[in-house]
Amino acid sequence: MDMPKIESRVFDALVVGAGFSGLYQLHCLRDKLGLSALVLEAGAGVGGTWYWNRYPGARCDSESHGYCYTFSKELFDGWEWSERYPGQPEILRYLNYVADRLDLKRDIRFDSRVKGARYDEGANFWRIVTNDGAEISARYLITAVGCLSTANIPDFPGLADFKGQWVHTGQWPHKGVDFSGKRVGFIGTGSTGIQAIPVIAETAAHLTVFQRTANYSVPARNAPLTPEFRHYVSENHAAIRRATRSTQNGQPFGIEDRSAFDVPPERRLELYEAAWNKGGLQFRATFRDLLANKAANDTAADFIKSKIRQIVKDPATADKLADIDHPYAAKRPPIDTDYFETYNRANVSLVDVRVAPIEAITRSGLQTRDGREYALDIIVFATGFDAMTGPLLRMNIAGRDGLTLAEAWRAGPRNYLGLQVAGFPNLFMITGPGSPSVLTNMPVAIEQHVEWITGCIAHMRERGIARIEARPESMDRWVKTVNEAADATLLPMARHSWYLGANVPGKPRVFMPYAGGMVRYRSICDDLVRKGYEGFALSR
Ligand code: NA7
DSSP string spanning 409-423?
Answer: TTTS---BTTTB-TT
212 ligand 1 Cβ < 6 A: yes
**What does the pLDDT average to over 508-534?**
96
Residues 6+ apart with CB under 8 A from 2: none
pLDDT over 60 (residue 148): yes
Write the Ramachandran bin of 399: left for phi over 0, alpha for psi from -120 to 50, otherwise beta. beta
Q: What's the pLDDT band for 77 if we cut at 50, 70, 90?
A: very high
CB 345 within 8 A of CB 200: no
**What does the pLDDT average to over 417-436?**
98
Tell me phi and psi for residue 119, to 5 degrees: -85, 125
Helix (H) or strand (E) holding 449: helix 442-462
Helix (H) or strand (E) holding 333: none
213 ligand 1 Cβ < 6 A: yes
Pocket probe for ligand 1: among 379, 503, 504, 512, the residue whose CB has the most ligand atoms within 8 Å is 503
**pLDDT for the residue numbered 7:** 59
**pLDDT for the residue numbered 6:** 57
Closest CA to 38 of 62, 10, 60, 58: 10
Helix (H) or strand (E) holding 466: none
Give CA–CA dist 132/502, Å, rounded. 33
Q: What's the pLDDT band for 82 if we cut at 50, 70, 90?
A: very high
Segment 102-128, tens digit of pLDDT: 999 999 999 999 999 999 999 999 999
Maximum Cα interatomic distance, the chain, rounded to a whole number of Å: 69
Give CA–CA dist 38/29, Å, rounded. 10
- CA 533 to mean position of chain CA atoms: 28
362 ligand 1 Cβ < 6 A: no
Q: What's the pLDDT band for 206 if we cut at 50, 70, 90?
A: very high
Å from CA of 323 to ligand 1 middle? 17
**pLDDT for the residue numbered 115:** 97
CB 140 within 8 A of CB 457: yes
Give CA–CA dist 117/334, Å, rounded. 36
Helix (H) or strand (E) holding 117: strand 114-120
Q: What's the pLDDT band for 242 if we cut at 50, 70, 90?
A: very high
> Closest residue (by CA) to atom 38 of ligand 1?
503
To the question of pTM greater than 0.95 for the whole model, the response is yes
Dihedral over alpha carbons 262, 265, 267, 269 (to 10 degrees): 120
Tell me what percent of the residues of the chain surpass a pLDDT of 70: 99
Segment 463-509, tens digit of pLDDT: 999 999 999 999 999 999 999 999 999 999 998 899 999 999 999 99
498 ligand 1 Cβ < 6 A: yes
Segment 351-392, tens digit of pLDDT: 999 999 999 999 999 999 999 999 999 999 999 999 999 999
187 ligand 1 Cβ < 6 A: yes
358 ligand 1 Cβ < 6 A: yes
SS3 187: strand
| Secondary structure letter of residue 342 according to DSSP | H
| Secondary structure letter of residue 343 according to DSSP | T
Give burial (CB, 10 Å; 0-12/13-18/19+) of 191: buried
Å from CA of 494 to ligand 1 middle? 13
Closest CA to 479 of 448, 453, 514, 531: 514
Q: What's the pLDDT band for 1 if we cut at 50, 70, 90?
A: very low
| Secondary structure letter of residue 256 according to DSSP | P
**pLDDT for the residue numbered 495:** 87
Give CA–CA dist 265/270, Å, rounded. 9
CB 333 within 8 A of CB 281: yes
Triad 233, 238, 240: Cα angle to 5°: 55
Segment 275-333, tens digit of pLDDT: 999 999 999 999 999 999 999 999 999 999 999 999 999 999 999 999 999 999 999 99
Å from CA of 188 to ligand 1 middle? 5
